[in-house]
Amino acid sequence: MRMILVGPPGAGKGTQAAELIDRLRIQHLSTGDMLRAAVAQGTALGKQADGHMRSGGLVPDDLVIPIVIERIKEPDCQNGFILDGFPRTQPQAEALDRALDAAGVTLDAVVLIEVPDDLIVERITGRRMDPQTKIIYHLRFNPPPAEIADRLEHRKDDTEEACRARLGKYHSETAPIIPYYEARGLLRRIDGVGAPKDITVRTFQALGLA
């Protein structure tokens, strides 16, 4: 199965991706990992991307998309993949579709995990990390043991201001791809509120895996 995973920051995409990978035995592809691999391998595309990355700039779509296509043509993606973190905009989605068509690759589904903004803010602002173990707790949903509470850290990107800025960017830039994929009959909407195991059941059901 070949799919794209979409949802706001803090929606639980990583958790559900792990469940899908375990169930389907497919590859989890993130653009960051693919770019770093292309650079490390010294491919022609990787060398071009490296120049942008070293200067602190964004790697342009006309480089990212060929790197994505190059990756999904590799043997370990023949059984399928989850593309996570790309596309982020409608122009990227349209360009990716053209490249996939040219490569003879067909998407099976675009999985959208939906969570209200206020709950996203509560999830993210309540996170605390143990600097020693790197375990992430949540003050409400997964409280830390009392004996380590004093050493936990609140990451600067987990503040309400930072969270709402990321949500704003998601709604303005990424959300427009939702009606785009819905019109193509690929979108699978998942209610992302509740226990992770319940969300997994809904995801499997939406994909015909239950």
**68's tokens:** 């994505």
Owning domain of residue 113: 2-26+79-206
Q: Of the residues 13, 123, 128, 188, which is catalytic?
A: 13
Q: Of the residues 36, 164, 166, 189, which is catalytic?
A: 166
User: Is 155 designated active site?
Assistant: yes
Strands 127-129 and 136-138: antiparallel
Instruction: Please indicate, yes or no, if residue 184 is contained in any of the structural domains.
Output: yes
What domain count does the chain have? 1
Instruction: Please indicate, yes or no, if residue 35 is contained in any of the structural domains.
Output: no
Residues of the chain with pLDDT under 70: none
Instruction: Please indicate, yes or no, if residue 65 is contained in any of the structural domains.
Output: no
Instruction: Please indicate, yes or no, if residue 159 is contained in any of the structural domains.
Output: yes
User: Is 188 designated active site?
Assistant: no
User: Is 140 designated active site?
Assistant: no
Q: Of the residues 88, 164, 169, 189, which is catalytic?
A: 88
Four-point Cα dihedral 158, 57, 91, 28, nearest 10: -60
At 8 the pLDDT is: 95
Round to the nearest angstrom and report the end-to-end CA distance of the chain: 15
Instruction: Please indicate, yes or no, if residue 163 is contained in any of the structural domains.
Output: yes
Measured between alpha carbons, how far is 148 from 4 in angstroms, rounded to an integer?
38
Tell me the per-residue pLDDT of 115-158, one tens digit each, with 9 for 90 and over.
Answer: 999 999 999 999 999 999 999 999 998 999 999 999 999 988 89
At 186 the pLDDT is: 98
Q: Of the residues 47, 73, 151, 155, which is catalytic?
A: 155
Measured between alpha carbons, how far is 53 from 59 in angstroms, rounded to an integer?
7
Q: Of the residues 127, 128, 188, 202, which is catalytic?
A: 127
At 185 the pLDDT is: 97
CATH number for the domain that contains residue 119: 3.40.50.300
Instruction: Please indicate, yes or no, if residue 44 is contained in any of the structural domains.
Output: no
Instruction: Please indicate, yes or no, if residue 37 is contained in any of the structural domains.
Output: no
At 39 the pLDDT is: 86
Instruction: Please indicate, yes or no, if residue 8 is contained in any of the structural domains.
Output: yes
